[in-house]
Structure 1
């Protein structure tokens, strides 16, 4: 498809889902392609319109160029399925892709990270109020990728074990109207580099130092850090090791030192079982999807298509030995965390002066809500809540409530300024 440039003073206004409007939308989007934002990519996206004659269109990005062609390419990296009206809203900027996906207006198959990145490769539409960016940051020889949106006081989102930045899309969407929100792929996960688990790598201290490096390279200070599961544990370590950089810590089902794993602690500390991750392990997709559903108190709160997309995404990463090694190495270090003694997690946690807000789910099967009382004992000044109707990922299961709780906490902490 050859793209003809429009005169700069002739805006394209997309309103109705007619055939000409839809065809014009594809052309208009190609005109706004930004080669710099697509650096290093070689990927294909298929856009399917469920209610339009132009059923499918393929975008192929490679070598800093874009090719738009009718029809669906075989084996695309990501497939986005929506209706024509939503597509026109997305191209014009009246809606953004993250909000449409969370509302169930877009179904995604394939690589969720690449699906989220699609929007970032184009200049904003004429009616856009928010810019979504993909940022690559080198830290100690490791390339870290993040999704950034909004303007204002900074907020950093840290995902849990085995997940990636996509798991924080609801908070990214909900907070970006008042904050500059950074959803980071931790080392070993998502689209960030996956170095071998040698030396200190993948300890919580090393992960916190890598996150601090990201903050330094992007000149971010006084940041509110929101962490889910392992991300919450890293947020605590970041506040303990680099308190000057952290305004507050918000833990959503945050990992702690688990008493129930202590009998395995010596074995995990003095062996290296994570190297078994170098060998492929047969995993069936239904098992993966069932495991993801177990993270929720009520899976019906999330569109079924989103579970399928998450399972497909996880299966893709499980084929990468670097991801498997990182996953098992982080799990080993979390399981080996001491829950007693002079240098144990709970003793160190009690020394944290950074304001903190903790949410535990009463139906969380991974981080039991009984740890809420122990956090409250260690940090008497902290705010600790137990939500009766939520599992391990409150930001996805109850996104409006989680966003409101995080926003209220940040406003409370920032009020004295």
Structure 2
């Protein structure tokens, strides 16, 4: 039985939302409510993050194991149809792997991991993630101060969002404490270092990338397009950072709905 914690709302075709490293299902902000108007939306906490416990052996925090654990979770729901999946960052790579294994109806990956080079990994992504993690160990009153003040939120979370000041103080503090307390962060981080995505999705798939992503640089979107080719459209998201669900939830919803529509069109789904 799966121990993955999740929230669920709406009705219709199932859509599973998968967050990135160090985050939690609340990272999806307004997206679940918007999608729930037409779909059965299931937002999960990956094992070792949010309210989900660390995976139990033989499972672990590798992407391959996360994919298998998400597959087990989906099976445990006994859904009437294969779900559509949407993932951000680490969750984006998990979504792509699920699409490669033909376990889902469609996949959308938002700034997915797996398209970096060594310079980007060690010069930008790694240092930024480590700095974010380190900042969460400040004293509680300091964390609360940065969460309460829009200007300080913008300073401390600029690597994730273009508009971190739009986060509520409660969400900002909750995200910070989640990052501090996530037992899965370091083992997932070190296992993710060598990852590259070079496979081919077997279902309709799309990639969205924030034009102002400071964590996984926008030029990685071009690399993704070169590797995956025309069958996988790559859309740049204006005014969005690494976590576009806050900066432009409507753009995220539009991309998801367009990809679901492609899966519902037999001529496209057969490609």
TM-score by length of 2: 0.80
Distance in 1 of aligned mates of 2:209 and 2:179: 28
Residue number in structure 2 paired with 1:160: 20
Structure number with greater Rg is 1
Residue number in structure 2 paired with 1:177: 37
**177, 183, 192: which one aligns with 1:316:** 177
SS of residue in 1 equivalent to 2:5: strand
Distance in 1 of aligned mates of 2:263 and 2:205: 10
SS of residue in 1 equivalent to 2:51: coil
Q: Please say if residues 257 and 334 of structure 1, whose CA atoms lie closer than 8 Å, have aligned partners that are also in contact.
A: no
Per-residue CA deviation, residues 205-260 of structure 1 (Å, 9 max, x unaligned), is 000100000011111342111001111011112223x31x2111101111124213
Residue number in structure 2 paired with 1:209: 68
Residue number in structure 2 paired with 1:356: 205
- Name the CA shift for 1:261/1:238 in 2 (closer, same or farther; >3 Å): farther
CA shift, 1:195, in A, is 4.1
**247, 250, 265: which one aligns with 1:397:** 247
Residue number in structure 2 paired with 1:331: 189
Distance in 2 of aligned mates of 1:408 and 1:314: 30
Greater fraction of residues in strand: 1
Q: Please say if residues 55 and 61 of structure 2, whose CA atoms lie closer than 8 Å, have aligned partners that are also in contact.
A: no
Residue number in structure 2 paired with 1:377: 226
Distance in 2 of aligned mates of 1:261 and 1:227: 24
Equivalent residue pairs, number: 246
Residue number in structure 1 paired with 2:96: 236
- Name the CA shift for 1:412/1:282 in 2 (closer, same or farther; >3 Å): same
Distance in 1 of aligned mates of 2:234 and 2:184: 30
Residue number in structure 1 paired with 2:261: 411
- Name the CA shift for 1:297/1:317 in 2 (closer, same or farther; >3 Å): closer
**3, 6, 9: which one aligns with 1:149:** 9
Distance in 2 of aligned mates of 1:164 and 1:318: 9
Residue number in structure 2 paired with 1:247: 105
**285, 291, 298: which one aligns with 2:163:** 298
Q: Please say if residues 237 and 251 of structure 2, whose CA atoms lie closer than 8 Å, have aligned partners that are also in contact.
A: no
Residue number in structure 2 paired with 1:43: none
Greater fraction of residues in helix: 2
Distance in 1 of aligned mates of 2:178 and 2:244: 23
CA shift, 1:390, in A, is 1.1
Q: Which moved more, 1:282-291 or 1:224-233?
A: 282-291
Residue number in structure 2 paired with 1:55: none
RMSD of aligned residue pairs (Cα, Å)? 2.8
Q: Please say if residues 366 and 392 of structure 1, whose CA atoms lie closer than 8 Å, have aligned partners that are also in contact.
A: yes
Distance in 1 of aligned mates of 2:253 and 2:121: 37
Higher relative contact order (CA 8 A, sep 6+): 2
- Unpaired segments ≥5 residues, structure 2: 148-152
Q: Please say if residues 248 and 354 of structure 1, whose CA atoms lie closer than 8 Å, have aligned partners that are also in contact.
A: yes
- Name the CA shift for 1:315/1:365 in 2 (closer, same or farther; >3 Å): closer
- Unpaired segments ≥5 residues, structure 1: 1-137, 269-273, 338-344
Per-residue CA deviation, residues 308-335 of structure 1 (Å, 9 max, x unaligned), is 2233213433553xx2x31111111222
SS of residue in 1 equivalent to 2:105: strand
Distance in 1 of aligned mates of 2:97 and 2:38: 26
Distance in 2 of aligned mates of 1:151 and 1:366: 34
Distance in 2 of aligned mates of 1:202 and 1:190: 14
SS of residue in 2 equivalent to 1:144: coil
